[in-house]
Amino acid sequence: MFKKSILLLSVLFGSLFAAPIDDIGALSVSGTQVVGANGQPAKLRGMSMFWNIAQEAGPYWNANVVNWLAEDWHANLVRAAMGVEDNWGSDPNLTSEGYKGYEFDAAWNQAMVETIVDAAIAKGIYVIIDWHSHWTDDPSKPERQAKAVEFFTNMATKYGQYPNVIYEIYNEPGCGADDDCWNKIKSYAEKVIPAIRAVDPDNLILVGTPSYSSQVQIAANNPLTGDNAFNVAYVFHFYASEEWHYNNYMGFANTAMQKIPLFVSEWGLSPASGNGTINYSWLDVFFNWMEEKNLSWAAWSICNKNESSASLQTSASPNGNWAESDLRESGTWLRNKLRTLNPEWSAVSGGGSAISSKQKSSSSLLLQGTELLLNLNESANMDLIAISGEVVKSYKNLNANTSVSLQGLPKGIYLVKLQSKNSSKSYKINLQ
């Protein structure tokens, strides 16, 4: 062991698997697929938070829940669905006074989003910043689009350097199922996207589509062009137990996917209302199709509302650590799928205060200044990989106990992959 105070070091203990952000890296669009840094489909799978302005959801908007979804559910994606034009203060279905969207209280809403984004970045998973609106194109409310530009400029300025962050600029446009609706969405997108790109040149942007983000084939006929089309995917939503969705939506998407990349930023097991009987045979067809097409997805939703698309019972603590009895039917099904499809991992991203709680390793790796100190069980090959996915340095047959100088490398987060005779391990370092 190194006889140095670990408090003074930027220390990260490794685990068997890297965090999703290290594994998948920066997202981009390649042809009609959303891909990771290695060019393969990103396959993000996770959960959408329910509206932050709802009493049944707001208390769950915290880092403990994000951590629990990552660790226990194996979610590699979480979506922060921030209300915009909605004011639920007088909703009679709410047990107490509800909250109001960004239009009414920008600071309060933005702070809730930042809580989720900060937690996702710290944990090493992806996060969608969702402008959860149906009426941003309302011609009688031109200030709404200006507020979206303001909000996304703030978000891009704060988070654009983190590859974890995805911008969803318009959840479900309610303007219709025709070219006219798409032209309104497009005109709005052509305002917001340049504002984001002015400060963040590269993170993935999701653009909503006509008829509540279902009629993606309309967008595919006349997609965004030029700089506005760079690293943009189009939003496709469905509710598996809605007969009309089941009969039509996969066809819309199959047609669209010949021309444009899709991202399922929201889908539910339930009928479209969010409530009602789950049709498991339709659900299986929809879900298997989505997986076969390598679509990334976030399921609706994390909240304890009394409806079948909700994942949680009212017994579910606002701090995660949920028992199976705290989950509703949707939550149980989704957790099982996520745990089956997404790999388990326990590394934690961040600035050096990380903890690996699940799989302690007897070997360790310490970064002291620009010296990387290895304390391994056996000699190993080591790759140093930038967050972009580029291998910046490779070392062969390093001694089990040695140090390597990283002087001269740009500051930032790197993935350290160690391959020895008997094991393969990944660590994350934050080079200052």
Q: Which stretch binds Mg ion (CB under 5 A): 34-42, 194-202, 210-218, 371-379?
A: 194-202
Q: How many residues does the chain have?
A: 432
Nearest partner of 429 among 344, 358, 345, 370, judged by Cα: 370
* Closest CB 227 distance from Mg ion, rounded Å: 15
Q: What burial class does residue 303 get, using C-beta atoms within 10 Å of its C-beta: 0-12 exposed, 13-18 middle, 19+ buried?
A: buried
Q: Which stretch binds Mg ion (CB under 5 A): 1-9, 200-208, 242-250, 399-407?
A: 200-208
* Closest CB 152 distance from Mg ion, rounded Å: 13
Q: What is the DSSP letter of 410?
A: P
* Closest CB 21 distance from Mg ion, rounded Å: 13
How many CB atoms sit inside 10 A of residue 95's CB?
8
Place of tokens 């990260």: 12
**Contact between residue 75 and residue 45 where contact means Cβ atoms under 8 Å apart:** yes
Q: In the complex with Mg ion, which residue's Cβ is closer, 19 or 196?
A: 196
Catalytic residue among 56, 168, 172, 307: 172
Q: In the complex with Mg ion, which residue's Cβ is closer, 14 or 163?
A: 163
Q: In the complex with Mg ion, which residue's Cβ is closer, 190 or 202?
A: 202
Q: In the complex with Mg ion, which residue's Cβ is closer, 28 or 346?
A: 28
Dist CA 168 CA 234 (whole Å):
9
DSSP per residue, 274-311: S-S---HHHHHHHHHHHHHTT--EEEEEES--SSTT--
Q: What are phi and psi of 76, to 5 degrees?
A: -105, 10
- Is residue 203 at the binding interface for Mg ion, with CB under 5 A as the rule? yes
Q: In the complex with Mg ion, which residue's Cβ is closer, 203 or 308?
A: 203
Q: Is 232 helix (H, G, I), strand (E, B) or coil?
A: strand
Q: In the complex with Mg ion, which residue's Cβ is closer, 203 or 279?
A: 203
* Closest CB 128 distance from Mg ion, rounded Å: 15
Dist CA 312 CA 325 (whole Å):
9
| Interface size with Mg ion, residues (CB under 5 A) | 4
Per the annotation, the verdict on 114 as an active-site residue is no
* Closest CB 414 distance from Mg ion, rounded Å: 17
Q: In the complex with Mg ion, which residue's Cβ is closer, 52 or 296?
A: 296
Residue 122 CA, chain-centre distance (Å), reads 13
Per the annotation, the verdict on 172 as an active-site residue is yes
Dist CA 224 CA 208 (whole Å):
12
Cis peptide before 301 (omega within 30 of 0): yes
Nearest partner of 187 among 150, 257, 136, 153, judged by Cα: 136
Question: What residues numbered 144-173 form the site for Mg ion, per CB under 5 A?
Answer: 160
> Sign of the CA dihedral 388, 389, 390, 394?
positive
Dist CA 233 CA 207 (whole Å):
6
* Closest CB 296 distance from Mg ion, rounded Å: 18
Nearest partner of 425 among 13, 44, 75, judged by Cα: 13
* Closest CB 122 distance from Mg ion, rounded Å: 18
Question: What residues numbered 82-121 form the site for Mg ion, per CB under 5 A?
Answer: none
Catalytic residue among 85, 103, 266, 307: 266
CA-CA distances (angstroms) from residue 9 to 158, 352, 368, 376, 377? 26, 8, 5, 18, 21
Question: What residues numbered 373-432 form the site for Mg ion, per CB under 5 A?
Answer: none
Q: Which of 202, 291, 329, 383 lies at the binding interface for Mg ion (CB under 5 A)?
A: 202
Catalytic residue list: 172, 266
What residues line the site for Mg ion (CB under 5 A)?
160, 200, 202-203
